[in-house]
Structure 1
Amino acid sequence: MPRRLNAEAAEDRPERLPAPEMVRIGLREAIMAGDILPGTQLRQDEIAARFGTSRIPVREALRELAVEGIVELLPNRGAVVKAFTVEEIVEILEIRIGLETRALRLAIPNMAQEDIEAAAEILRSYDDEPRPERWSQMNWQFHSVLYRPCNMSRMLSLIERNWAQCSRVAQLQVSLAAGKENPNREHWAILEACAAGAVDKAAALLEQHIVNTQKSLSARMRRFSG
């Protein structure tokens, strides 16, 4: 188990969470951060010791993570961090189109200038960031700021869970495939449409932005497999 896997992140919240939720959040964040790699077996006794719980909440947390598609429950191996194929990542991106274009349409009428400025600040940092391993995190921060004003907690949760299905390793592959300059140019265009209240244009730009990522990823995988 990685050194960073512990209960601190889950406990650093206004109210202490139930043990299964604490374990689920801690494991999910460690997987997303790349501290637990795809294919890693998640041993219940080690996790329970790390979080100071019994194995019962660990089993419950692993079942929930399996429902989210982050963990696989395999015969004779138990829980394993899911490794995604390129086809599965493309499908996750397809799901993004449906969920996120709808969220953006609902969010734009509720956006305040502070939302636009927060998104712009993220993009300025993104422009200056040379490390590919940081791009996926900044990409998520930008998109989540845009969708938050839709004020639909279930939809936002579904969007976040869809993003979370890809581990940091898979996200890095997407970032390397798409690069930074073209995606961030597209981000600025989406933000400009949001600031202008152009709902249809912003949604169309967002859809094309995700489609372009799919194409870049597929092209990268063809190059490396050829």
Structure 2
Amino acid sequence: MPPEAIAELIRQAIREKVFAPGTPLVQEDLAQRFGVSRSPIREALRILGTEGLVVLQPGEGATVRRLSRADLEEIYDLRLALEPLIAPAVVAEARGRDIAHLGSLAATMISAEDVDAWMRANFEFHRHMYQVSGLVRTEGILAGLLSAVQPYSQENIGQLGGRQSADAEHQSMIDAIGAGDAEALASLIVDHLRAARNRLASAYETVESPDPLQMLRATGR
């Protein structure tokens, strides 16, 4: 199995939290799972490291990157800056089969019995919109941002009440594409991303740095 195929499978496992944030990725274990030598595993981890999904520490191995609140906000801000820009291209390039595929994915999300199934369909929904645009470089950037935030989006859908509104927003996007309304699509994308960003940011636990002089303050009175 080539490194690129291994990287894609690990990428999917990270998106779906099979490998949760902070999980060590041990080369020997991965080599055994995939039935390959350590060489393609090292290359696959290197690929994921360049994408920011994995942290590579010399002498310490690889771990799934754990995002801070600032990281999450940065990723969503980048998506908010870039994703609406593809709306005119999506509307111009979308064909009936594309709209039908997006509709099928939206229906899958509505009927999904668990969050994992919903998240898989959600990833494919957004990824297909990127592909429809035909903007290859922008597609690659957005796909990387989507992959990075996907494990955290599970909380928005599964615990923070974002699923119902997201389902409605996806259908509105499909309607805008079908109507050829790029301006409406761009506006819907912004609302969709901003709502998810705000839910996650407000729920994210921020750990304040301890005051290094607290002990002295307490005893100096």
Q: TM-score range by the shorter chain?
A: 0.7 to 0.9
- Residue equivalent to 1:37: 20
Secondary structure class of the residue paired with 1:79: strand
Which 4+ residue blocks in structure 1 deviate beyond 6 angstroms? none
Selected match of 1:174 from 148, 156, 166: 156
Partners of 1:70 and 1:166 within 8 A in 2 = no
Deviation (angstroms), 1:38: 1.7
Aligned-residue Cα RMSD (Å) equals 2.4
Q: Report the equivalent of 2:100.
A: 117
Amino acid at match of 1:25: E
Query: Residues of 1 paired with 2:96 and 2:137: CA distance?
Result: 24
Partners of 2:37 and 2:29 in 1: CA distance: 10
19, 34, 45: which one aligns with 1:62: 45
CA contact (8 A) 1:45 1:55 kept: yes
**1:177-203: CA deviations, max 9, x gaps?**
252111222222222111111111211
Cα contact 2:90–2:177 (8 A) shared by 1:
no
User: How has the CA–CA distance of structure 1 residues 129 and 211 changed in structure 2, closer, same or farther, with 3 Å as cutoff?
Assistant: same
| 8 Å contact from structure 2 (residues 156, 163) kept in 1 | no
Alpha-carbon displacement from aligned partner over 1:134-181 (angstroms, at most 9, x marks no partner): 33222222222333221233322222111111353x231132325211
What amino acid is the match of 1:81? V
Are residues 96 and 54 of structure 1, via their aligned partners in 2, closer, same or farther at CA, if it must alter by over 3 Å? same
Equivalent residue number for residue 212 of structure 2: none
Equivalent of residue 48 in structure 1, options 31, 39, 57: 31
Equivalent residue in structure 2 for 1:82, among 65, 75, 78: 65
Residue type of the alignment partner of 1:45: E
Deviates most, 178-187 or 126-135 = 126-135
CA contact (8 A) 1:178 1:213 kept: no
**Which residue identity does 2:196 align to in structure 1?**
T
- How far apart are 1:205 and its partner, in Å? 1.4
Answer with 65-74 or 47-56: which moved more. 47-56
TM-score normalised by L of structure 1: 0.80
Q: What SS does structure 2 have at the residue aligned with 1:177? A: coil
User: Is the 1:126–1:138 contact (alpha carbons within 8 Å) kept by the matching residues of 2?
Assistant: yes
Tell me how far apart the structure 1 counterparts of residues 203 and 101 of structure 2 sit (CA, whole Å).
32
Q: Alpha carbons of 1:117 and 1:21: their partners in 2 closer, same or farther (altered >3 Å)?
A: closer
Equivalent of 1:104 in 59, 68, 87: 87
- In structure 1, runs of 5+ residues without a counterpart are 1-6, 8-18
1:204 to 2:187 alignment: yes
Give the match for residue 142 of structure 1. 125
Equivalent-residue separation in structure 2 for 1:130 and 1:220 (angstroms) = 24
- C-alpha offsets along residues 20-70 of structure 1, whole Å, 9 cap, x if unaligned? 223322322222232222212112222223333332322222122111011
Write the deviation string for residues 106-159 of structure 1: whole angstroms up to 9, x where unpaired. Answer: 111111122222212222232223423333222222222333221233322222
Deviation of residue 71 (structure 1)? 0.4
Length, aligned pairs only: 206
Q: 1:220 to 1:133 in 2, by over 3 A?
A: farther
The 8 Å contact of residues 41 and 77 in structure 1, kept in 2 or not, is answered as: no
Give matches, 1:9-28, under 5 Å.
19-28=2-11
SS at 1:39 equivalent: coil
